[in-house]
Amino acid sequence: MTVDTAPARERTLGGAYALLAYVLWGFLPLYFLALAPIGPFELVAWRVLLSLVFCALLLTVTRGWVALGRIMRQPRLLGLTALAGVLIYINWQVFVLAALSGHVIETSLGYFVNPIVTVLLGVLLLRERLRTLQWVAIGIAAIAVGVIVVGYGTFPWIAIALALSFGTYGLVKKTIGPSVDAVSGLTLETMWLMPVAVLTLVVVSSIGGITAFSEGPWHIVLLLGAGVITAVPLLLFASGARRVPLSVMGLLQFVTPIMQFVIGAWLLGEPMSPERWVGFGLVWLALVLLTVDSLSASRRPRTRTDASDVAELT
């Protein structure tokens, strides 16, 4: 009897797509640092505009303008993509501000905390019920934040802002569902943000001048790549998510914050006080418990959607 290996190949391919997406996201701090001396607000503005250009090219190549037109005739979807655009702009701006100001470790904390925040958002906004181990994980994560606040003397606003913005963005994308494909979704999100980006560049130009085209050809090449480095991981992620189980995506998502933690702590030499180590250790313990619970739940027959279903990067 011939065994159909197509599903296995699809899962392998999907895992490779997802892994590559998370690896690219993990390298983003180094990519943005290579664009110095560009400022964080100018960088995000170019990121928005260049992502829109890249998506327009993709829509042309893939003949996706018709599908985009159908989406634009649906007010509900337009409103959701506008909300998604606002949330991803907040996420991008906070991330770039942190990366360019020596807080890469705190960005990694944000993406470590993100699955836990997303589960909590599912409870608060979608009225989903948590299992016991999930509540334990959330409690440990809350203690971790308290340890960092008390011991390190500052509230980890970067981490919390990243986790909240990206977690809420994931919920909005989950609400949109398959009605909007990845390219059309990112096109609309950046389209809504285009006026903000243009206004930002005008303000930056009037205050200190735009640095985009004053640092040589290599700088221009890197800047033009900002649109590609923004869009490609999102498209890879979407392709991977369609092919592999949610449990696999949940495990792979930790590649990004692990890479960012290594970059911040060892490559960039950002300080890690004992209190930070304790806080991070508690977060990692919470994530282990959450992962074990999700894997156990994925092996059981389920009749409803658990809050852990939305604990993924989107």
Mean pLDDT over 52-60 rounds to: 93
Q: What is the pLDDT of residues 106-122, one digit of tens each?
A: 999 988 888 888 778 77
Domain boundaries of the chain, sorted by first residue: 16-310
| 57-75 confidence digits (pLDDT tens) | 999 998 889 999 999 999 9
**Could you give the CA distance from residue 256 to residue 252 in angstroms, rounded to a whole number?**
8
| 222-251 tens-digit pLDDT | 898 988 898 888 788 877 777 776 657 767
Shortest CA distance to 144 belongs to which of 269, 288, 263, 28? 288
216 vs 28, which has greater pLDDT? Answer: 28
Measured CA to CA, the distance from residue 270 to residue 263 in angstroms comes to: 9
**Cβ atoms of 31 and 267 closer than 8 Å:** no
Q: Could you tell me where the beta strands, DSSP code E, fall in the chain?
A: none
Whether 42 contacts 212, CB under 8 Å: yes
Tokens in use for 120?
């909590």
The pLDDT, as a whole number, for residue 299 is: 66
Per-residue model confidence (pLDDT) at position 300: 63
Distance between alpha carbon 202 and the CA centroid of its chain, in Å?
A: 27
Tokens found for residue 6: 């197509």
The predicted pLDDT at position 246 comes to: 60
